[in-house]
Structure 1
């Protein structure tokens, strides 16, 4: 499963080269440089002239990953929280991305509050 919404793109699957190739097919651009950690799969897929390995330029993505794990329990590394099926994980991410947009949350805020009244 793949999803691309503005600057938020993901692919759900095992953490392997096959899954990363699916993501790469969506995000790759000829005129970009990609900064990653040293996971070997990145070097297998990303062209050498576009790939820089190191933590120096990965602060924003690491921050995003941390926020995702904080807000969605199923995204923590070890979890007992609900299903890990690809479909449910994909739907969870879609829901999270939707409500990360403050305008979307505000438009539904009354519905959320009403369930507690």
Structure 2
């Protein structure tokens, strides 16, 4: 799922994941409260720091994920390929690059 942190994007994501888990963790972004039911929503930085760390690594290594970048393709299949290569490298499964 790609997009900004607006309620509109959040609703699209929610429609795809709402039946998957029992609890949904997020930070304190206001728009999440508009579509995630209170009884299933836990807001806490302590539950989101790991994913934020991965997001930071991805933005560091892949220019296409930097905000407002115009230099690289944003096509979903290219994003997937880029992420797969990065994760392979970070997991020492790829001996080339970086």
Give the number of aligned pairs: 94
Does the residue aligned with 2:45 lie in a helix, a strand or coil?
coil
Q: CA deviation at 1:71?
A: 1.3
Unpaired segments of 5 or more residues in structure 2?
A: none
Does the residue aligned with 2:74 lie in a helix, a strand or coil?
helix
- Given the two structures, how large is their TM-score scaled by the length of structure 2? 0.72
Write out aligned runs for 1:99-110 (5 A).
99=85, 100-101=87-88, 106=94
- Given the two structures, how large is their TM-score scaled by the length of structure 1? 0.63
Q: Distance in 1 between matches of 2:88 and 2:15?
A: 26
Deviations 1:33-55 (A, max 9, x none): 11211111111111100111121
Structure exhibiting the larger radius of gyration computed from Cα positions? 1
Deviations 1:3-27 (A, max 9, x none): xxxxxxxx12343111111111222
Moved >3 Å (runs of 4+):
none
Q: What do you get for the CA RMSD once the two structures are aligned?
A: 2.8
Does the residue aligned with 1:96 lie in a helix, a strand or coil?
helix
